[in-house]
């Protein structure tokens, strides 16, 4: 009986399921259709999909086969479109994906606000919108995502405060809001997130104290609050974070002493607190409590006391940086126990060495075979430098001890440090000769020995240092001649031999160094003879000082070819004859001093037209003629012409005699007396009506529109109003449109007399346009280089309709941009012929020189962030000029170790194919990023292949393509653009193949994936200049 009942029940259930099955299928189908509609709405909000990631998103392809879509039982559970370069906005329709657990859209360019509706996807466990362009606040509705374990909104432009309601996400394990513009205090409610293992809030503008409640996060392994404006003391409760491995609160305004409890976090690997106001002493037993410490970085604080010797007990310690504090006493002599130590920074303290035994730490450090960086500058070290310094790690690349009181000779054993690239011993009391053995340091890039008491000659073998980039020997007592072998230092950018007792002539080999592009000073010596004509080769040099010597004869006319000069001081010599006419070309000069020579001839009145000139001293010569009253000569404090007895004119405050007028002719008096009155009457009859017409015209013009004058950049003379720009561009007509960019359009303008300009008009409705405008103004304000596009002025005004108007006015480049030449189109006039080999090499050198200047020789280094062919413009001589600084970033000096991007930097967008990979994961901009972009540009210039070409698929990049071809033994001549192999270039034979391969490998070395493996841009310049010389171009 029971069996019968069970059988009947089974039959009933089967029938019921058969009956309900169509309805259940219909319900599931409806949900799947709802998911499809939500994703299609998401796609509709995306304005650009350059990689075609959503090309499969259509009704002909099953939903669960769409790229980036993950499904479970025909329902969408995951949307993963990471680093697809998507632009547009984020559709709130995603809230209709009711089974979604993963939303991964990191590394795109999606803008707009984060839809509050996302808070309704209660199934969501992972939300990653990092590295996009989101603005607005963090939606407080995210508090409803009760299943969320991972939240990453970093590297956007979010503003406002961190919602305290995020403290309700109790299962959250990772929270990253770094690299935004968030303000306010860190909510104490974040202390409720007891499951949290990672909390990253770095690079915002958060204020207030660190909440003590963060001490409740017992599972936390990573805590990064760096690069904010936090103040107050470090809460002792942080000592409860027993799992903490990484602790970083650097670059804030934290004060007080470091809590003792922090030194008991035994799992800690990284303790990073630099650039704060922390005080107090380090505990003597710190080495006992932090056995796993790897990095101890405390520079730029107010810490005092002795450096604990117990640090030597932390066997895994790799980096110690205690610089820029107030530590005193001796440097511990047991640091040699730290076998993994690679970085030891102790500069700018009160550390001392008085007795020979106080230098025992040097002998101890010889056991640190991994040591790469040792800086002991600005302490109280005295006595002799022990010869054991030569036994330090052969891998040491940085050794500086400047501004101490070290005496004695420079140990010859220092030559054992074969990999040293920076040696700085300036500002001490070293005496004796520079040891010849120093010439064995063939990897040296910077040799800094100035401000000592060194004597004797400069070693004749100095030419062995072929990688030398910066060489400072000034303010010593060196004697003898400048060795001609210095001409072998083909990388030399900066040379300062001033304030010594050097004699003899200036070697022509020195002036043949075309690499000298920044600074050359030979002043205050006993140099004699003429200035060699090879001076004309220093066409990239910005600063030349040969004053206070015994140089004589005529100034070479070739000096006028040094167009990059900004400072030229030749005073207190015996130069004679006239100032070369070629000086008219030196329009970039800011300072000119030719005083106290024997110069004669006409007064150089053309100097009044030099737009950047700030100081001119021509005193005590024998110049003749009229002193102008305009330009620099209108400022008495900026000009000196004393001691020139035959000059006249000038402004009254110069107290010069008036220039004599021309004597009138004495014949034809009667004709003159009759003709002049008649001519005056006729002139009045014609002039009065004309003046009336002009007056009426101007009055009408003023009634139609207001005209605001432009704001010229500092030192510029050009002043243009909106009306003048409107006229020059024919009302910004389409016919004058020469380019369209992300933030505006560029028009060709004619100021009259065929004086052409380029006018970049900002589209202020475009998000980020104003920021781009300000960035470009700031970047271009104080930089000048022959290979940078020259800005003429800025116009910030209103247009004829009363709307805000902002524009940048540049020199016009008649040959367009490099992209037009490398990838010509059939209908374009510019770039209708192929670039020659010589032109491509010259352009490559030009662009590298510009980047080298931006990185290494600007007052504040600049990273361009958007190097690509379309941002390289070509003038009438096909000279390249790097343009478009709308994404440029200034770098900040960090503790004498180099530069980094400012803490307010956000992820840089750049251009697809040229952006370095590290930017995509949120690293700060860096010079290495520009080097990567340059490498891609260089390869593209010679192969005529874009980094986004159709042939580059399935992970194949342009650099991999070239590298594979070279590895397979294909000649470089068969890899580069076929048009390069002309009859003329083929005659170069093996030299051509060698040079082409060298160029391609240079591009590959620049475009390495890891920033540290990339070439330095100054080495790139040297490499390409060598190629140019090999090709005899």
Active site residue 866: yes
Question: Does position 1028 have pLDDT exceeding 70, yes or no?
Answer: yes
Claim to verify: residue 89 and residue 194 sit in the same structural domain: yes
| Separation CA 913–CA 867 (nearest Å) | 11
Say how far apart CA 884 and CA 343 lie, in whole Å. Answer: 38
pLDDT for residue 992: 84
What's phi and psi for 283, nearest 5 deg? -65, 140
Q: Are residues 1020 and 961 in the same domain?
A: yes
Task: Give the up-direction half-sphere exposure of residue 143: CA atoms within 13 A in the CB hemisphere.
Answer: 12
Q: What is the DSSP letter of 119?
A: G
297-338 pLDDT per residue, tens: 999 999 999 999 999 999 999 999 999 999 999 999 999 999
What pLDDT sits at residue 708? Answer: 29
Is residue 558 situated within a structural domain?
Answer: no
pLDDT-based confidence at residue 663 (cuts at 50, 70, 90):
very low
Whether 681 is covered by a domain: the verdict is yes
Distance between CA atoms of 1002 and 460, rounded to whole angstroms?
32
What is d(CA 409, CA 430) in angstroms, rounded to the nearest whole number? 6
Residues 56, 198, single domain; the answer is: yes
Q: CB-side exposure of 128: number of CA atoms within 13 Å?
A: 18
Annotated binding site for ATP: 760
Residue with tokens 């002719």: 665
The arithmetic mean of pLDDT across residues 705-726, rounded, is 54
Q: Which residue has the tokens 């009391």?
A: 429
**What is the model's pLDDT at position 855?**
85
The reply to whether 904 falls in a domain is: yes
Kindly name the residue from 49, 176, 866, 930 that is annotated as catalytic. 866
**Domain at 800, CATH number:** 3.30.200.20
At 12, the pLDDT band (50, 70, 90 cuts) reads low
Contact of 634 with 614, CB cutoff 8 Å: no
Residue 871 lies in a domain: yes
Spatial distance between the Cα atoms of 974 and 976, rounded to a whole number of angstroms? 6
The percent of residues in the chain predicted with pLDDT above 90, rounded, is: 60
Same domain, 683 and 739: no
> By C-alpha distance, which of 197, 190, 185, 106 is closest to 153?
106
Same domain, 53 and 113: yes
Helix, strand, or coil (residue 823): coil
Q: Say what the pLDDT of residue 18 is.
A: 42
908/1018 same-domain check = yes
Task: Name which of 522, 516, 568 is nearest 538 in CA terms.
Answer: 516
Residues tagged in the binding site annotation: 760
Q: Which of 187, 216, 245 is the last residue of a domain?
A: 216
Distance (Å, whole) CA 49 – CA 81: 11
Q: Are 354 and 383 in contact (CB under 8 A)?
A: yes
Angle at 200 (CA atoms; ends 196, 206), nearest 5 degrees:
120
For residue 692, the model assigns a pLDDT of 40
Q: What is the CATH number of the domain that holds 951?
A: 1.10.510.10
* Radius of gyration for the alpha carbons in the chain, expressed in angstroms and rounded: 35
Of 917 and 879, the one with more pLDDT: 879
- Structural tokens at position 695: 């007056």
In a domain, 382, yes or no: no
Higher pLDDT, 921 or 301: 301
Q: Is residue 406 in a domain?
A: no
Task: Quick: pLDDT tens for 492-551.
Answer: 989 999 999 999 999 999 999 988 988 999 999 999 999 999 999 998 898 999 999 999
Total number of domains constituting the chain = 4
Per-residue pLDDT at 930: 92
Q: Are residues 903 and 1026 in the same domain?
A: yes
CA distance 520 to 530: 17
- The CB density around residue 257, as the number of other CB atoms within 10 Å, is 13
In three-state secondary structure terms, 429 is strand
pLDDT tens digits, residue range 786-805? 888 888 888 877 777 777 78
Asked whether the predicted pLDDT for residue 750 surpasses 50, the reply is yes
Query: What pLDDT was estimated at residue 762?
Result: 78
Q: Which of 20-24, 654-658, 913-917 has the lowest mean pLDDT?
A: 20-24
Using DSSP bridges, classify how beta strands 470-472 and 494-496 pair: parallel, antiparallel or unpaired: parallel
Q: Are 80 and 186 in a shared domain?
A: yes
Q: Is residue 881 part of a domain?
A: yes
Query: Could you report how far apart the first and last alpha carbons of the chain are, in Å?
Result: 107
Same domain flag for 1010 and 873:
yes
Query: What is the C-alpha separation between 738 and 379, in angstroms, rounded?
Result: 58
pLDDT score, position 44: 93
How far is 198 from 215, CA to CA, in rounded Å?
Answer: 13
Please report the DSSP string for 744-812 in residue order.
EEEEEEE-STT-EEEEEEE-TTSTTHHHHHHHHHHHHHS---TTBPPEEEEEEEE-TTS-EEEEEEEE-
Q: How far apart are CA 791 and CA 776, in angstroms?
A: 10
Q: Dmax of the chain from CA atoms? A: 153
Q: Do the domain assignments include residue 300?
A: no
In angstroms, the CA 161 to CA 554 distance is: 69
The CATH number of whichever domain residue 192 belongs to comes to 3.80.10.10
Helices (H), 442-598: 508-511
- Same-domain pairing of 112 and 57: yes
Show which of 750, 778, 812 is a domain's final residue: 812
Of 663, 686, 704, the one marking the end of a domain is 704
Residue 907 is part of which domain span? 836-1033
What is the token pair recorded at 600?
Answer: 């004669």
User: What are the pLDDT digits (tens) for 378-413?
Assistant: 999 999 999 999 999 999 999 999 999 999 999 999
Distance separating alpha carbons of residues 71 and 101, to the nearest angstrom:
10
In terms of residues, how long is the chain? 1033
- More confidently predicted of 1030 and 886: 1030
Q: Is the domain of 161 the same as that of 196?
A: yes
Query: Taking CA 614 as the corner, what is the angle to CA 650 and CA 498, rounded to the nearest 5 degrees?
Result: 120
Q: What mean pLDDT value characterizes the chain?
A: 85
Nearest to 776 by CA among 884, 914, 614: 884
Instruction: Indicate the pLDDT class of residue 418, thresholds 50, 70 and 90.
Output: very high
Share of the chain above pLDDT 70, in %: 85
For residue 60, CA distances in Å to 36, 55, 64, 67, 78 come to: 12, 11, 12, 14, 20
**pLDDT-based confidence at residue 1023 (cuts at 50, 70, 90):** confident
Q: Do 732 and 870 fall into the same domain? A: no
């Amino acid at each position: 009986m029971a069996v019968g009942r069970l059988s009947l029940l089974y039959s009933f259930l089967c029938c019921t399921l058969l009956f309900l099955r169509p309805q259940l299928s219909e319900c599931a189908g409806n949900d799947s259709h709802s998911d499809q509609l939500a994703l299609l709405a998401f796609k509709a909000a995306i304005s650009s999909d350059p990689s075609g990631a959503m090309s499969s998103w259509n009704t002909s392809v099953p939903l669960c086969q769409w790229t980036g879509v993950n499904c479970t039982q025909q329902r969408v559970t995951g949307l993963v479109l990471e680093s697809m370069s998507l632009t547009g906005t984020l559709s709130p329709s995603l809230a209709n994906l009711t089974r979604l657990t993963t939303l991964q859209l990191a590394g795109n360019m999606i803008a707009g606000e984060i839809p509050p509706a996302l808070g309704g996807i209660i199934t969501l466990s992972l939300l990653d919108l990092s590295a996009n362009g989101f603005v607005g606040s963090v939606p407080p509705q995210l508090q409803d995502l009760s299943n969320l374990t991972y939240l990453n909104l970093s590297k956007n432009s979010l503003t406002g405060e961190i919602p305290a309601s995020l403290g309700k996400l109790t299962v959250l394990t990772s929270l990253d809001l770094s690299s935004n513009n968030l303000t306010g205090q860190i909510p104490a409610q974040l202390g409720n997130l007891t499951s949290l293992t990672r909390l990253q809030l770095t690079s915002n503008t958060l204020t207030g104290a660190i909440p003590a409640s963060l001490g409740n996060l017992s599972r936390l392994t990573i805590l990064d609050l760096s690069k904010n404006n936090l103040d107050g003391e470090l809460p002792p409760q942080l000592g409860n974070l027993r799992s903490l491995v990484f602790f970083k609160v650097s670059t804030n305004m934290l004060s007080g002493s470091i809590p003792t409890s922090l030194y008991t976090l035994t799992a800690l690997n990284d303790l990073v607190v630099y650039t704060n106001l922390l005080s107090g002493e380090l505990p003597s037993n710190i080495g006992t409590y932090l056995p796993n410490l790897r990095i101890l970085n405390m520079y730029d604080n107010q810490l005092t006391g002795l450096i604990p010797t117990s640090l030597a007990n932390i066997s895994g310690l790799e980096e110690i940086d205690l610089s820029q504090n107030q530590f005193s006493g001796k440097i511990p002599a047991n640091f040699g126990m730290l076998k993994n130590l690679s970085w030891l920074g102790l500069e700018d303290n009160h550390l001392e060495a008085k007795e020979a035994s106080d230098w025992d730490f040097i002998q101890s450090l010889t056991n640190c075979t991994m040591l790469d960086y040792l800086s002991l500058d600005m302490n109280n070290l005295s006595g002799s430098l022990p010869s054991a310094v030569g036994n330090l790690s052969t891998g040491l690349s940085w050794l500086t001890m400047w501004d101490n009181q070290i005496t004695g000779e420079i140990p010859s054993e220092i030559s054992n440090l074969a990999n040293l690239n920076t040696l700085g011993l300036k500002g001490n009391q070293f005496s004796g000769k520079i040891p010849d053995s120093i010439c064995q340091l063939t990897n040296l890039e910077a040799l800094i020995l100035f401000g000592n008491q060194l004597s004797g000659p400069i070693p004749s073998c100095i030419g062995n240092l072929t990688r030398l980039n910066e060489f400072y020997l000034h303010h010593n007592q060196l004697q003898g001649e400048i060795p001609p072998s210095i001409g072998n230092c083909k990388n030399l950018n900066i040379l300062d031999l001033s304030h010594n007792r050097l004699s003899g002539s200036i070697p022509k080999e020195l002036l043949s160094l075309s690499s000298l592009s920044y600074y050359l000073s030979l002043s205050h010596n006993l140099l004699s003879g003429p200035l060699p004509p090879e001076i004309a080769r220093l066409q990239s040099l910005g600063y030349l000082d040969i004053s206070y010597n015994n140089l004589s004869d005529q100034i070479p006319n070739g000096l006028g070819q040094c167009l990059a000069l900004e400072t030229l001081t030749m005073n207190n010599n015996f130069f004679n004859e006239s100032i070369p006419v070629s000086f008219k070309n030196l329009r970039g000069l800011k300072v000119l001093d030719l005083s106290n020579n024997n110069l004669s001839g006409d007064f150089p009145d053309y100097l009044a037209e030099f737009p950047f000139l700030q100081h001119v001293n021509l005193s005590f010569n024998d110049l003749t003629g009229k002193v102008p009253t305009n330009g620099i000569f209108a400022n008495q404090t900026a000009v000196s012409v004393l001691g020139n007895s035959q000059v006249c004119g000038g402004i009254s405050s110069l107290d010069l005699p008036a220039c004599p007028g021309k004597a009138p002719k004495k014949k034809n008096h009667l004709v003159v007396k009759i003709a002049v009155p008649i001519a005056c009457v006729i002139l009045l009859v014609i002039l009065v009506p004309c003046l009336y017409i002009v007056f009426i015209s101007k009055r009408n013009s003023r009634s139609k529109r207001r005209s605001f004058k432009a704001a010229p950049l500092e030192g510029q003379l050009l002043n243009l109003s909106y009306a003048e720009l409107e006229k020059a561009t024919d009302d910004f007509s389409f016919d004058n449109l020469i380019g369209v960019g992300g933030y505006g359009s560029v028009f060709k303008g004619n100021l009259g007399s065929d004086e052409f300009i380029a006018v970049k008009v900002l589209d202020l409705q475009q998000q980020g346009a104003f920021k781009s405008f300000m960035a470009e103004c700031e970047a271009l304000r104080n930089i000048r280089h022959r290979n940078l596009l020259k800005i003429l002025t800025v116009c910030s005004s209103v247009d004829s309709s009363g709307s805000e108007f902002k524009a940048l006015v540049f020199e016009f480049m008649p040959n367009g941009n490099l992209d037009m030449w490398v990838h010509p189109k059939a209908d374009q006039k510019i770039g209708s012929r192929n670039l020659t080999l010589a032109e491509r090499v010259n352009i490559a050198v030009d662009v590298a020189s510009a980047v080298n200047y931006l990185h290494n020789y600007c007052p504040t280094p600049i990273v361009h962030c958007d190097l690509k062919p379309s941002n390289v413009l070509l003038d009438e001589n096909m000279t390249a000029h790097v343009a478009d600084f709308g994404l440029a970033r200034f770098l900040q000096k960090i503790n004498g170790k180099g530069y980094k991007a400012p803490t307010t930097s956000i992820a840089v967008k750049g251009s697809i194919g040229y952006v370095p990979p590290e930017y995509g994961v949120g690293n700060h901009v860096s010079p290495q990023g520009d080097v990567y972009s340059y490498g891609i540009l260089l390869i593209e210039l010679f192969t005529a292949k874009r980094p986004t070409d159709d042939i580059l698929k399935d992970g194949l990049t342009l650099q991999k393509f070239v590298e594979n071809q070279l590895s397979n033994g294909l000649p470089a001549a068969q890899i580069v653009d076929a048009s390069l192999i002309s009859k003329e270039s083929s005659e170069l034979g093996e030299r051509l193949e060698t040079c082409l391969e060298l160029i391609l490998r240079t591009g590959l070395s620049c475009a390495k994936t890891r920033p540290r493996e990339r070439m330095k841009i100054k080495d790139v310049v040297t490499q390409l200049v060598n190629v140019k010389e090999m090709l005899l171009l």
